[in-house]
């Protein structure tokens, strides 16, 4: 999937060269901006070419790929294209309504913002029009030529990551994967190519005299030309394919609007041939309706509209706060992890409205960063409509709303309420998810800390050498396998006065816990303690700068060695995580711990001081270190030396 990977990394870059910049396409004489005819496929492309005398632009490569997918889609819920167009139209009206707060002239004598759907069965054209904010030439190129939309970007990324990247199997319709995702994510404007062989967009901004017409047949390029007499807003004309003309039937349109767009807070009109209009949606913002009037399907649709997430809401919170301040919040907890959870800006995605007028979806501080997976809207009756987006963060009313949102949305002060809700797996708990209370209640009396081990894979963590000694003493260790664990643990520090302690860091302090009988080492064969100390000294000398220290271990029962971080040093898993995220981390030296009861250690200890054993012991010291690295999933620094030493050791053992 070579193409797929490139696709995933390039998505954020808007790239829409005029076709004159595309290699192999010569501009016509005397013109630098009027692009030539594009080598086109027969049929519809020819038709567009003949009509068009505007500039021609190539779609960003990812868009072309997406369009190919759309055009060949066997996706049965094609109707979602209408949801996407209505959603865009409604956003465009929201934007104009907001702009008109400070510039009322923008609305002129057309203040009734609405979406109008007009089917024309004779020409086979379906029009979805709004009288919203419109687009100028540059916006048209940026918005309808590249992928800038977060949801669509995530869709293409998933497609690229899960497949061969050329999208071929999806295009063949053999695979339900992409089709499923189209419905879940919604792929915005481009989804109209599922039903249209050609799309024309006529648009004008409220404060500009010049309008524009964008056209494309969805096969690699689009054209843009000035349009005289364009009405304010945006009018999308879909030249439907023969097989998709069902979307011209009023009954079909009504049903689709009702199913997907009923919650939209402005009227959606259906206009018939004789110009009569009927409103086909409820027309009031969903969150402003009483809870009892809303069913689950409506909440679900609103979630899809607002969240651009696959799946359904896992939990819905709809609250009207009354009293000193009034606001409504409709918030959703998604049922899967949002794709942008680890973006560095940690921006939340809750939209702020003031009395049904959309203000911003970037209101810093409305939701704390750690709850940025929450989706939804907050609508306040108390904020001033002309509140500036820049000063919002310091607004005292907003501060009250912030604390009022279920009370959970305050940072550190809320940790005592949040921590009891968190569940963990543990070394002793099998598949069970433990609460911290359960863990603390079952701790042996002498245990003072909550032990945990962090890494990527819970099963691998269970098998880690560092937990052996804890298991042997009946001490449960929590498995922290989520990357985010590394970040909250140092901040939270303790629960019910028991500090969190990594078992891969610092001294284990296990001698006050009794080892279970079945795990007790056989002491009959143990070398005198002095010999182990000599071995430790030899290993330390041999490994020199490669380790911070070498010491005997209490943590190990079955494995001969393990690595741990020294007290106060960076946790080994956190170090790896930071490196993966391209953070500069100074090289950390680790402590090598050796199991004094292991047969191998005992055998080596007995060799110390024997004549001619030094070379074999030095090889063994390196091999012990390499083993410990392998157990940590770390690369061995010198693989060829490792192989040589190992082969030497095996052949010596075999020939002796």
Ligand X SMILES: Nc1ncnc2c1ncn2[C@@H]1O[C@H](COP(=O)(O)OP(=O)(O)OP(=O)(O)O)[C@@H](O)[C@H]1O
- Could you tell me the smallest distance in angstroms from the CB atom of residue 140 to ligand X? 8
Distance of closest approach, residue 269 Cβ to ligand X, in angstroms: 15
For ligand X, the closer of residues 86 and 436 by Cβ is 86
Of 286 and 508, CB closest to ligand X: 286
Nearest approach, Cβ of 474 to ligand X (angstroms)?
Answer: 52
Q: Which residue has the CB atom at the shortest distance from ligand X?
A: 188
User: Which of 145, 151, 313, 455 is in the footprint of ligand X by CB under 6 A?
Assistant: 151
Cβ-proximal residues to 377 (8 Å cutoff; 6+ apart), any chain: 287, 306, 328, 329, 330, 331, 350, 351, 352, 353
Residues 400, 402, 408, 414, CA torsion sign: negative
Q: Is the dihedral of CA 227, 232, 233, 238 positive or negative?
A: negative
Binding mask 182-221 for ligand X (x = CB under 6 A): ------xx--------------------------------
Is 394 part of any known ligand binding site?
A: no
- Residue from the set 73, 116, 143, 219 that interacts with ligand X by CB under 6 A: 143
Q: Is 130 annotated as a binding residue?
A: yes
- Return the residue of 65, 78, 137, 149 that touches ligand X, per CB under 6 A: 149
| Rounded Cα–Cα distance for residues 598 and 20 (Å) | 73
**Is 468 annotated as ligand-binding?**
no
State the Cα–Cα distance between residues 445 and 448, nearest whole angstrom.
8
For ligand X, which residue of 67, 69, 92, 608 counts as binding (CB under 6 A)? 92
Q: Which residue, among 225, 195, 208, has the nearest Cα to 56 in the 3D structure? A: 225
68 lines the binding site for ligand X (CB under 6 A): no
Residue from 4, 132, 183, 465 binding ligand X (CB under 6 A): 132
398 Cβ neighbours under 8 A, 6+ residues apart: 363, 365, 366, 380, 383, 392
Q: How many residues bind ligand X (CB under 6 A)?
A: 19
Dist. CA 258–CA 600, nearest whole Å: 73
Using CB atoms within 10 Å of the CB of residue 72, give its burial: 0 to 12 exposed, 13 to 18 middle, 19+ buried.
middle
Among 55, 62, 94, 130, binds ligand X (CB under 6 A): 130
Residue among 55, 78, 317 nearest 193 (CA): 78
**C-beta separation of 190 from 236 below 8 A:** no
Which 8-state DSSP code applies to residue 429?
Answer: S
Instruction: Please check if 186 is assigned to a binding site.
Output: yes
> In this structure, what token pair is assigned to residue 278?
């009927």
Instruction: Choose one: 71-79, 143-151, 501-509, 574-582; the region binding ligand X (CB under 6 A).
Output: 143-151
Residues 295-314 that bind ligand X (CB under 6 A): 308
Nearest distance, CB of residue 254 and ligand X, angstroms = 21
The residue within the footprint of ligand X, chosen from 55, 62, 84, 626 (CB under 6 A), is 84
Q: Which stretch binds ligand X (CB under 6 A): 147-155, 245-253, 543-551, 637-645?
A: 147-155
Stretch of 132-140, 262-270, 341-349, 556-564 contacting ligand X, by CB under 6 A: 132-140
Query: Is there a binding annotation on residue 132?
Result: no
Q: Tell me whether residue 96 or residue 538 sits nearer to ligand X (CB atom).
A: 96
**Which residue carries 């091999």 as its tokens?**
623
Site residues (CB under 6 A) for ligand X, limited to 225-264:
234
Could you give the C-alpha distances from 101 to 96, 111, 352, in angstroms and in order?
9, 12, 15
Contacts of 571 (CB under 8 A, 6+ apart): 454, 486, 502, 504, 505, 565
Instruction: With beta carbons less than 8 A apart as the criterion, state whether 524 and 480 touch.
Output: no
Q: Binding site, residues?
A: 84, 88, 130, 135, 143, 150-151, 184-189, 234, 389
Residues that bind ligand X in the complex, under the rule CB under 6 A: 84, 88-89, 92, 130, 132-135, 143-144, 149-152, 188-189, 234, 308
């Amino acid at each position: 999937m070579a193409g797929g990977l490139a696709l995933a990394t390039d998505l954020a870059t808007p790239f829409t060269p005029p076709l004159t910049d595309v290699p192999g396409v010569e501009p016509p004489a005397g013109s630098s901006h009027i692009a030539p005819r594009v080598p086109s496929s027969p049929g519809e492309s020819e038709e567009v070419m003949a009509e068009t005398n505007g500039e021609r632009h190539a779609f960003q490569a990812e868009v072309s790929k997406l369009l190919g997918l759309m055009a060949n889609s066997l996706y049965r819920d094609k109707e979602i294209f209408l949801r996407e167009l209505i959603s865009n139209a409604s956003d465009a009206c929201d934007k104009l309504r907001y702009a008109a707060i400070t510039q009322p002239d923008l609305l002129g004598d057309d203040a009734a913002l609405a979406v109008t759907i007009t089917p024309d069965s004779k020409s086979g054209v379906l029009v979805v029009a709004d009288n919203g904010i419109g687009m100028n030439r540059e916006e048209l190129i940026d918005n309808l030529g590249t992928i800038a939309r977060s949801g669509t970007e995530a869709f293409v990324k998933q497609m690229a990551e899960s497949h061969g990247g050329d999208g071929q199997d999806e295009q063949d319709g053999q695979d339900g994967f992409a089709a499923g995702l189209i419905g879940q994510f919604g792929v915005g404007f481009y989804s109209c190519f599922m039903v249209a062989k050609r799309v024309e967009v006529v648009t004008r901004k409220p404060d500009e005299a010049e309008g524009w017409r964008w056209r494309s047949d969805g096969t690699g390029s689009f054209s843009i030309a000035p349009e005289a007499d364009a009405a304010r807003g945006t009018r999308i004309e879909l030249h439907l394919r023969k097989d998709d003309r069902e979307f011209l039937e009023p009954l079909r349109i009504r049903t689709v609007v009702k199913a997907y767009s009923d919650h939209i807070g402005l009227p959606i009109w259906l206009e018939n041939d004789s110009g009569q209009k009927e409103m086909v949606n409820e027309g009031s913002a969903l969150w402003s309706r009483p809870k009892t009037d809303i069913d689950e399907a409506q909440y679900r649709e609103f979630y899809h509209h607002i969240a651009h997430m696959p799946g359904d809401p896992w939990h819905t919170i709809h609250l009207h706060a009354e009293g000193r301040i009034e606001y409504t919040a409709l918030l959703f907890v998604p049922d899967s992890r949002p794709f942008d959870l680890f973006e560095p800006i940690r921006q939340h995605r809750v939209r702020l409205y003031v009395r049904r007028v959309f203000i911003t979806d970037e209101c810093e501080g409305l939701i704390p960063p750690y709850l940025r997976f929450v989706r939804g809207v907050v609508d306040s009756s108390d904020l001033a409509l002309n509140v500036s987006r820049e000063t919002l963060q310091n607004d005292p009313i907003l501060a009250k709303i912030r604390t009022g949102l279920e009370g959970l949305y305050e940072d550190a002060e809320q940790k005592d309420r949040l921590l009891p809700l968190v569940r963990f797996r543990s070394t002793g708990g099998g598949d069970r998810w433990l609460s911290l209370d359960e863990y603390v209640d079952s701790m042996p009396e002498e245990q003072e800390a909550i032990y945990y081990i962090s890494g990527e894979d819970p099963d691998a963590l269970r098998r880690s050498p560092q937990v052996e000694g804890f298991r042997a003493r009946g001490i449960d260790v929590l498995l922290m396998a989520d990357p985010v664990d590394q970040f909250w643990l140092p901040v939270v520090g303790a629960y019910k006065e028991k500090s969190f302690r990594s078992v891969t860091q610092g001294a284990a302090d296990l001698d006050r816990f009794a080892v279970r009988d079945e795990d007790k080492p056989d002491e009959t064969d143990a070398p005198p303690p002095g010999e182990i100390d000599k071995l430790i000294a030899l290993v330390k000398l041999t490994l020199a700068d490669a380790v911070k220290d070498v010491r005997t271990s209490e943590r190990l029962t079955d494995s001969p060695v393990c690595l741990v971080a020294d007290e106060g040093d960076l946790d080994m898993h956190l170090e790896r995580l930071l490196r993966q995220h391209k953070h500069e981390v100074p090289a950390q030296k680790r402590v090598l711990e050796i199991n004094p009861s292991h047969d191998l250690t005992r055998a080596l200890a007995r060799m110390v001081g024997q004549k001619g054993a030094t070379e074999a012991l030095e090889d063994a010291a390196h091999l012990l270190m390499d083993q410990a690295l392998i157990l940590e999933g770390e690369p061995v620094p010198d693989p060829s030396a490792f192989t040589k030493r190992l082969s030497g050791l095996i052949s010596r053992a075999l020939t002796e």
